[in-house]
C-alpha cells in the first residue's frame, strides 16, 4: 500500500515523460500529489499525463534553458498557487568516449542538461518555497557521480556535481523548512540504457551486488520518501538506490 501522504501537495518532475521520471510522477500522484510532467518531449509528456489522470499537467521544458524553466515554474504557480516538491530527474548520458577523444560539445551538452539544469530548476522553485515556508527538492544523481565511470566523464562529473550542489543548497536553507536531497541509482531498466554499449552494460551490471538491474518503481519509492514529511529530519543527503553497489 502506498501511503497517501502527499494529498494537496504539488510536484514538478523534470524529464518525466518516460523512464524513472515517469515512475516518480506515477508514484507521487498515487500518494495524492498533483504532478507536472515537464519534459523536452511534449507529446510523450502528454501521454504520461493522460495515463496519470485529469489532475496531471504536461509541460514543455528544456531544463538547460533558464527562461523556459522560469515559464514552467510560473505556469505551475498560476495553476496550483504553490510548488511543494521539485524532482530534478531530466538527464542524458552523452557519448561513450574516453576523455582524450571528448569534444567541448560533448562536455557542454551533458553538463548543461544534467548539472546546470538541476541548478536552474532548483533556483526557480526556491522563491515560492520560501514564501510557503516549506518545500522538498530531490535530485537524481547516479552512482557514476560517486565512482567515476570510465568513458563517461561528463556524465560522472555532472552527477558528482549534483551530489555537491545538494549539500550546498540544503545548508543554505536549513532554517527555511526546505529540505534538499538527492539519490544515486545504479543501473535502472529504462530507455536511457538503449544508448549504452552492451559491454558497458555488462560491466556496470556486474558491479551490482544484488546481481540485477533496478526497476524505476524502486527508485520512485525512495524519491517519494524523501519528498514526503516522513523524511522531515533528512536533508543534504545522497541516498543510494544501487542494489548494494556503493560502499560509502
Ligand atoms: N537508467 C539508469 O540506469 C540510471 C541510473 C542512474 C541515474 N539515472 C538518472 O535518472 C534520470 C532519468 O533517467 P532515465 O533512465 O529515466 O532516462 P530516460 O532517457 O528514459 O528519460 C529521460 C527523460 O528526460 C527527458 N529530457 C532529456 N533532456 C531534457 C531536457 N533538456 N529538459 C527536459 N527533459 C529532458 C527526456 O525527454 C526523457 O523523457 C537521469 O537523470 C539519469 O541520469 C538513470
Q: What is the pLDDT of residues 36-91, one digit of tens each?
A: 999 999 999 999 999 999 899 999 999 999 999 999 999 999 999 999 999 999 99
Pocket flag, ligand 1, residue 156 (CB < 6 Å)? no
Q: In this structure, is residue 4 part of a structural domain? A: no
Best of 16, 62, 91, 210 for a ligand 1 pocket test (most atoms within 8 Å of beta carbon): 91
| pTM score above 0.85 | yes
Q: Does the beta carbon of 243 sit less than 6 angstroms from any atom of ligand 1?
A: no
Q: Residue 229 Cα, ligand 1 centroid: separation in angstroms?
A: 26
Query: Is residue 247 included in any domain, yes or no?
Result: no
CATH number assigned to the domain comprising residue 25:
3.40.50.720
**Assigned domain for 234 exists:** yes
Question: Is residue 126 within 6 Å of ligand 1 at its C-beta?
Answer: no
Any atom of ligand 1 within 6 Å of the Cβ of 191: yes
How many angstroms is it from 195 CA to the middle of ligand 1? 12
CA–CA gap between residue 132 and residue 84 (Å, rounded): 8
- How many Å lie between the centroid of ligand 1 and the Cα of residue 142? 11
Reading the block at residue 31, the C-alpha cell is 500518494
| Domain count of the fold of the chain | 1
Whole-angstrom Cα distance, residue 241 to residue 143?
A: 9
Q: Is residue 5 part of a domain?
A: no
CB 88 less than 6 A from any atom of ligand 1: no
pLDDT one-digit tens code per residue, 198-240 = 887 888 799 899 999 999 999 999 999 999 999 999 999 999 9
Lowest mean pLDDT across 144-153, 185-194, 215-224: 185-194
Taking phi over 0 as left and psi of -120 to 50 as alpha, with beta for the rest, 102 belongs to: beta
**Residue 3 maps to a domain:** no
pLDDT digits (tens, 9 = 90+) for 1-33: 899 999 999 999 999 999 999 999 999 999 999
Taking the centre of ligand 1 as the mean of its atom positions, its distance from the CA of residue 193, in whole angstroms, is 10
Cell, residue 103: 569534444
Residue numbers annotated as active site = 155
Q: For CA atoms 181, 186, 187, 192, give the dihedral sign.
A: positive
Q: How far apart are CA 103 and CA 99, in angstroms?
A: 8
Interhelix angle 216-227/19-30, rounded to 10 degrees, is 50
Q: How far apart are CA 2 and CA 32, in angstroms?
A: 10
Is residue 37, in this structure, part of any structural domain at all? yes
In a domain, residue 151? The reply is yes
Task: Report the chain's mean pLDDT, rounded to a whole number.
Answer: 96
The domain of 146 spans: 10-241
Cα–Cα distance between 236 and 247 in angstroms, integer?
18
Q: Is residue 22 part of a domain?
A: yes
Amino acid at each position: 500500500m502506498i501511503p497517501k501522504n502527499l494529498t494537496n501537495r504539488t510536484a514538478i518532475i523534470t524529464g518525466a515523460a518516460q523512464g524513472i521520471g515517469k515512475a516518480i510522477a506515477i508514484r507521487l500522484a498515487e500518494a495524492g500529489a498533483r504532478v507536472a510532467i515537464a519534459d523536452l518531449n511534449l507529446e510523450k509528456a502528454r501521454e504520461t499525463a493522460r495515463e496519470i489522470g485529469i489532475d496531471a499537467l504536461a509541460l514543455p521544458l528544456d531544463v538547460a534553458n533558464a527562461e523556459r524553466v522560469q515559464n514552467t515554474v510560473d505556469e505551475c504557480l498560476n495553476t496550483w498557487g504553490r510548488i511543494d516538491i521539485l524532482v530534478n530527474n531530466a538527464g542524458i548520458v552523452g557519448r561513450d568516449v574516453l576523455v582524450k577523444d571528448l569534444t567541448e560539445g560533448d562536455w557542454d551538452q551533458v553538463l548543461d542538461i544534467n548539472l546546470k539544469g538541476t541548478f536552474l530548476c532548483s533556483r526557480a522553485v526556491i522563491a515560492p518555497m520560501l514564501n510557503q515556508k516549506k518545500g522538498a527538492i530531490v535530485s537524481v544523481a547516479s552512482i557514476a557521480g560517486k565512482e567515476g565511470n570510465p568513458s563517461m566523464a561528463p556524465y560522472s562529473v555532472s552527477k558528482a556535481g549534483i551530489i555537491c550542489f545538494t549539500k550546498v543548497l540544503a545548508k543554505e536553507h536549513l532554517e527555511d523548512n526546505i529540505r534538499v536531497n538527492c539519490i544515486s541509482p545504479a543501473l535502472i531498466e529504462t530507455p536511457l540504457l538503449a544508448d549504452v554499449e552492451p559491454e558497458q552494460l555488462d560491466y556496470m551490471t556486474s558491479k551490482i551486488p544484488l546481481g540485477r538491474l533496478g526497476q524505476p518503481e524502486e527508485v520512485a519509492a525512495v524519491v517519494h520518501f524523501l519528498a514526503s514529511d516522513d523524511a522531515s529530519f533528512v536533508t543534504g543527503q545522497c541516498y543510494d538506490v544501487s542494489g548494494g553497489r556503493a560502499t560509502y
